[in-house]
Structure 1
Amino acid sequence: MNPFDLDKELRETGKELRREVPDIIRRHQDEVYASLADLPMQTRTDHQYHSKKIRRFVGATAAAAIIGVMSSAFVSPIMAESLKNIPLVGSIFKLASDLGLQTAEERGLVADPNASVTHEGVTIRIPQVVYDGSRLSLAVKREGNGLIGGISDYEIVQEGENIKHLYQRGAITNIEMFVDGTSLYDYSGGKRPGLMGNPTSDPNAMLYQLTAFSHLGEGALTMPDQFLLTAKITLEGIEEPFIIDLPVHKSTDQIVVPSEETREWGGLKLTLEQLKLTPLTTDLIINIEPSSKSEKIDHKNLSYEVWDDRGRVLGLVAGMGIYNKDGQYHTEMMFDRFEDAPDTITLKPFMPVFQDPSANSGLFAVDSNGEIVKKYLKDLEITIPVDRTSLEKLYDSHQ
């Protein structure tokens, strides 16, 4: 299932972006700021649930049939598919295919705020949060009577050229996040954290993720090491939105490795500018610029994999790319953590192969296993060394 483009939804419904924090949210925030100094870290389990056949993704994310760089945030379909098979809501992080979230659960990095708000007999609860300075993950759970369908369910109805989304009572129709009182919607030009949502096997639970992209430059909305996150969640059939404040603390250390390794091919100059490692996430910043007018390739279709020195490929978490004034394309890619600390890391750019080889768009070609066919660009490949001892210490620091 493709990610759900919340930005597109907002444009279609004509909802205006607000520049001021509503009074109701400000009152909630003022009451919670005092608790920023102390955020408990513990794990939690919950009950077993059954799967639900219809789900949707909610988030400021772009959809793609292949994992590649896009103009807004996106989420790995592999991670999304695995989340749908998770039987225990309280153990979403531990049972996800994302090794970073498993690590967070196992090593006590997950905060258990168990914050909740109730309106008209329906409760929205946030039982788990984890933040490593690169990405913030939180579980959202719905409880109550008189609910129809799942929290992420909707029906698509087409009337002529118009398409409508129909929601049953209790389904999420809108979610807005505030970082220290500033809405992500106020940064609709792209200079903001990425927001995406994934369904789980529990029809009453969603997993949301904010990604703190560090390459956005001046004027961007950033996520500091400590901040107040406000979630404003609107459910169908419930008049008042659910507003929940969460004091957030970064719970891990990080290693930053400057690179500036450069490769040129096909009219492109590719530079791996920086590598950032946490016990949960592997974060790369890549810059692309034209190097010549001949043999140009379309970098919009350029995608990446990250391999360790034993040939293991990391799962993709999220990514965002933006153009700067000089026509350069800055991309930040967040991948899963490594299973164990490698000596070297290899960035492998590739192009997807289309069913029509003469086209630069359309359907992708797939192999006999249903995997997208990739053309690896060996001349753009970059391998950099890693201080294995330091990375092992980082990975083991929270055991």
Structure 2
Amino acid sequence: MGQSPKPTEYAEMDAIERMIRESSLPRQSMSNQIIHRIGENQVSRRSGKAKSSVLKRSVVAASVTAILGAGVIGAGFVSPVMADALKKIPGFGVIYNGTSAEAVNAAVEQGIVSEPGLSVTHDGITLKLADLLYDGTRLSFTLIREGTDLENMVIPFKLKDTPKEQLPKGYIVGPELQSAGQGKMEALSLLADGQKIKFTTGSFGDLPGQRNAFIGEMTHGLNLPDKFELTIQTKVTNVEEPFEFKVPVKVDNNALVLKPDVTKSDGQFSYTVKELYLSPVSTRLVVDSQGPVPQSPEQTGDYSASKVYYEIVDDQGNELDQRMLGFFNGKPATEYHIDDLYSPFAGKPKSITIKPFTFTVKNADWSIVGEKKDSKGNYVTGKDRLGNDSWKDSMGTRTYLKDLEVTIPVNP
């Protein structure tokens, strides 16, 4: 028999489970076997385009540790002092890191960020719809729980096989939190004007650092209008009645959408910047690439290059934080469709530079050269040039493909 996980390992398993659910891989690639293997301290994931690739780990930067979308803001003017204070709130600061008070105000005025303030109480448990964010490409919300003080909002991994009638009262039943040991439980449901919201990538779970807060977010594959009625329905363990929230959503979508369709090539590897989507709360980069990844002299023999990643920099040299980097223990594919989220620009830039780079991988164990971790295996926190927390220098040494950089002008 295998040895049972230690109590300290449960938290790690829960974190891994959340990262799996947050992965940018296609939803159809998420199987119950993946979640089951967390119990064996092994996490694997097949990509639709690279079937032999196995997900080694998801690198969660500052902009993932505090998941985008959470905040405490209502409609109205936000002073510079208030905007600075909001940036320090877990989950909210990520969205507005490096962003001016004017940009925060723009998000409020455009209806992107709101505080519905709705609450529902059943059997002594209260859920409050605290925050809502929709910018035309990403939808997220926060639920706050009262009436119990469980350590988690969602059913933790260590209780995944506990019969549902034996579970403590107060856990939210998310869309992927059902288990054979618990039977069928009605999952969280999201509707727009009464129709189920379709999306390809989303994350649902505990809000880091807040034991009574639940975050739900859909980041890819949304096709929603600028105005609709959002319905959030969820069940809570050992509470008979469902919790339902209905809230009108209306966003004055003033996002800047660039479709440069510009291509850079070294003769073998090439990539095309298909789209840049700029809103007060996020930046989305869509890139298609083809060909073998360029290799530096250091990326030969026992070492090789990772897939190509992309930095985004404005005309003042300010770099945006990429929300997630995924490391795979396999050779990179020769074709990628990238659709990634970054932090917002601090105002409208005059130009945007895309800087492709790779990490150097040790072939023997797929470790990343230059990684810096503490005794607990966490990335060492540093500071960026603005004094904000940064994990960039701890994630590995970057090899920039300078001949493949491209600068895209932003028309006034």
TM-score range, shorter chain: 0.5 to 0.7
Aligned residue among 94, 99, 110 for 1:98: 94
Matches of 2:313 and 2:19, distance apart in 1: 29
Which amino acid in the other structure matches residue 363 of structure 2?
A: S
Residue equivalent to 2:134: 131
Which structure has the higher relative contact order (CA within 8 Å, separation 6+)?
1
Matches of 2:323 and 2:201, distance apart in 1: 14
Any residues of structure 2 matched to 1:377-396 within 5 Å, and which? 377-387=401-411, 390=412
Matches of 1:204 and 1:313, distance apart in 2: 33
Aligned residue among 175, 200, 219 for 1:192: 200
- Tell whether 2:212 aligns with 1:204: yes
Identity %: 25
Count residues in correspondence: 309
Any residues of structure 2 matched to 1:26-37 within 5 Å, and which? none
The 3-state SS of whatever aligns with 2:93 is coil
Instruction: After superposition, give the CA deviation of every residue in 1:353-376 in whole Å (9 maximum; x if it has no partner).
Output: 23xx23594566414884112222
CA pair 182-377 structure 1, distance change in 2 beyond 3 A: farther
The 3-state SS of whatever aligns with 1:329 is strand
Gap regions ≥5 residues in structure 1: 15-60, 63-69, 214-220, 321-326, 391-399
When structure 1 is superposed on structure 2, of 266-275 and 171-180 the one drifting more is 171-180
TM-score normalised according to structure 1 size: 0.62
When structure 1 is superposed on structure 2, of 370-379 and 285-294 the one drifting more is 285-294
The 3-state SS of whatever aligns with 2:260 is strand
- Whether the 8 Å CA contact 1:262–1:269 is kept in 2: the answer is yes
Residue equivalent to 1:150: 152
The 3-state SS of whatever aligns with 2:280 is coil
Deviation at 1:347, TM superposition (A): 1.3
Matches of 1:75 and 1:294, distance apart in 2: 22
Matches of 2:399 and 2:295, distance apart in 1: 20
CA pair 5-92 structure 1, distance change in 2 beyond 3 A: farther
Which amino acid in the other structure matches residue 410 of structure 2?
A: V
Instruction: After superposition, give the CA deviation of every residue in 1:334-364 in whole Å (9 maximum; x if it has no partner).
Output: 211112332221112222223xx23594566
Which amino acid in the other structure matches residue 65 of structure 2?
A: E
Matches of 1:293 and 1:93, distance apart in 2: 38
Matches of 2:192 and 2:114, distance apart in 1: 18
Gap regions ≥5 residues in structure 2: 1-14, 22-26, 35-44, 47-53, 75-84, 175-187, 327-333, 374-378, 381-393
Residue equivalent to 1:36: none
The 3-state SS of whatever aligns with 1:127 is strand
The 3-state SS of whatever aligns with 1:314 is coil
Matches of 1:163 and 1:385, distance apart in 2: 56
Matches of 2:295 and 2:67, distance apart in 1: 44
CA pair 224-79 structure 1, distance change in 2 beyond 3 A: same
Aligned residue among 56, 62, 83 for 1:78: 62
- Whether the 8 Å CA contact 1:212–1:222 is kept in 2: the answer is no
The 3-state SS of whatever aligns with 1:151 is coil
Residue equivalent to 2:315: 309
Instruction: After superposition, give the CA deviation of every residue in 1:111-137 in whole Å (9 maximum; x if it has no partner).
Output: 232223222221211122122212223
- Tell whether 2:395 aligns with 1:372: yes
Residue equivalent to 2:121: 118
CA pair 353-225 structure 1, distance change in 2 beyond 3 A: same
- Tell whether 2:274 aligns with 1:273: yes
Deviation at 1:199, TM superposition (A): 1.1
Matches of 2:369 and 2:205, distance apart in 1: 25
Deviation at 1:173, TM superposition (A): 3.3
Instruction: After superposition, give the CA deviation of every residue in 1:237-267 in whole Å (9 maximum; x if it has no partner).
Output: 3244323223222244122222111112483
Deviation at 1:168, TM superposition (A): 4.0
Residue equivalent to 1:27: none
Matches of 2:202 and 2:150, distance apart in 1: 30
The 3-state SS of whatever aligns with 2:141 is strand
Any residues of structure 2 matched to 1:18-97 within 5 Å, and which? 76-82=60-66, 95=89, 96-97=92-93
Deviation at 1:156, TM superposition (A): 2.8
- Whether the 8 Å CA contact 2:202–2:216 is kept in 1: the answer is no
Matches of 1:262 and 1:120, distance apart in 2: 59
TM-score normalised according to structure 2 size: 0.60
Matches of 2:337 and 2:67, distance apart in 1: 30
Which amino acid in the other structure matches residue 381 of structure 1?
A: E
Residue equivalent to 2:355: 348
Matches of 2:137 and 2:71, distance apart in 1: 27
Matches of 1:361 and 1:111, distance apart in 2: 43
CA pair 289-198 structure 1, distance change in 2 beyond 3 A: farther
- Whether the 8 Å CA contact 1:352–1:372 is kept in 2: the answer is no
Give the aligned CA root-mean-square deviation in angstroms: 4.6
CA pair 152-363 structure 1, distance change in 2 beyond 3 A: farther
Matches of 1:4 and 1:286, distance apart in 2: 23
Which amino acid in the other structure matches residue 399 of structure 2?
A: K
